[in-house]
């Protein structure tokens, strides 16, 4: 039997809800408490501080003021930006797989009971749940990678320290 932590589902569900309006590039989508995405830029939230904005090119501004960065720092920030989008996309994929699993479960129950063969219910749902587990793995791997990138940025750009909000416990408890 596949066991997935409730916190992982909560995280993924939050990501899915945050991304629901992604079809309109002007929509602002909160991605958990760490980020929001608006017009292609990632706003990184920190308690008691103005948001840090990272654009796709790796340009950084804090509180509306551009932060001077080196080419190497912009490369890291651009990678961070891309990983936030990957995390959001993994959350969407996980949410969709979860919805599909729920649909499979309902359909399997109805079909199994109607056909008089309820023993097939578990097999169909279990197969679908394996896809959910794969998406959880992808999401957790991306979260781990994002945290690593976050830590590299902080080492090279101390102004980003307050925005290093993904902690080791979140990564460790993802799976």
> Who wins on pLDDT, 30 or 138?
138
Taking residues 25-40, what's their average pLDDT? 62
Domain assignment of residue 147, yes or no: yes
Domain assignment of residue 44, yes or no: yes
The answer to whether the CB of 69 falls within 8 A of the CB of 60 is: yes
Residue 84's pLDDT is 94
Closest by alpha carbon to 12, among 105, 126, 99?
A: 99
Residue 74 φ/ψ region, left for φ over 0, alpha for ψ in the -120 to 50 degree band, beta for the rest: alpha
Domain assignment of residue 171, yes or no: no
Domain assignment of residue 174, yes or no: no
pLDDT digits (tens, 9 = 90+) for 92-125: 888 888 888 888 778 777 777 777 776 766 777 7
Domain assignment of residue 153, yes or no: yes
pLDDT digits (tens, 9 = 90+) for 118-175: 676 677 778 778 888 888 888 899 999 999 999 999 999 999 999 998 989 888 888 7
Residue 98's pLDDT is 84
Does residue 41 have a pLDDT over 90? yes
Residue 20's pLDDT is 42
pTM of the model: 0.73
The answer to whether the CB of 18 falls within 8 A of the CB of 29 is: yes
Domain assignment of residue 87, yes or no: yes
Question: What are the two backbone dihedrals, phi and then psi, of residue 52, each rounded to the nearest 5 degrees?
Answer: -95, 130
Domain assignment of residue 55, yes or no: yes
* Structural domain count of the chain: 1
The answer to whether the CB of 153 falls within 8 A of the CB of 77 is: yes
Residues spanned by the domain of 47: 6-164
Residue 32's pLDDT is 59
Angle at 166 between CA 81 and CA 168, to 5 degrees: 130
Domain assignment of residue 18, yes or no: yes
pLDDT digits (tens, 9 = 90+) for 68-91: 999 999 999 999 999 999 998 988
């Amino acid at each position: 039997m596949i066991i997935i932590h409730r916190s992982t589902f909560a995280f993924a569900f939050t990501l899915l809800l945050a991304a629901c309006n992604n079809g309109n590039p002007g929509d602002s989508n909160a991605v958990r408490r760490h980020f929001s995405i608006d017009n292609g830029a990632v706003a990184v939230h920190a308690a008691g501080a103005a948001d840090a904005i990272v654009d796709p090119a790796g340009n950084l501004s804090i509180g509306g003021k551009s932060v001077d960065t080196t080419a190497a720092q912009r490369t890291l920030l651009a990678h961070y930006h891309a990983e936030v989008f990957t995390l959001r996309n993994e959350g969407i994929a996980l949410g969709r797989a979860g919805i599909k699993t729920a649909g499979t479960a309902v359909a399997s129950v109805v079909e199994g009971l109607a056909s008089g063969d309820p023993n097939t219910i578990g097999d169909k749902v279990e197969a679908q749940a394996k896809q959910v587990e794969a998406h959880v793995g992808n999401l957790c791997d991306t979260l781990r990678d994002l945290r690593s990138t976050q830590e590299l940025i902080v080492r090279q750009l101390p102004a980003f320290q307050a925005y290093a909000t993904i902690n080791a416990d979140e990564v460790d408890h993802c799976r």
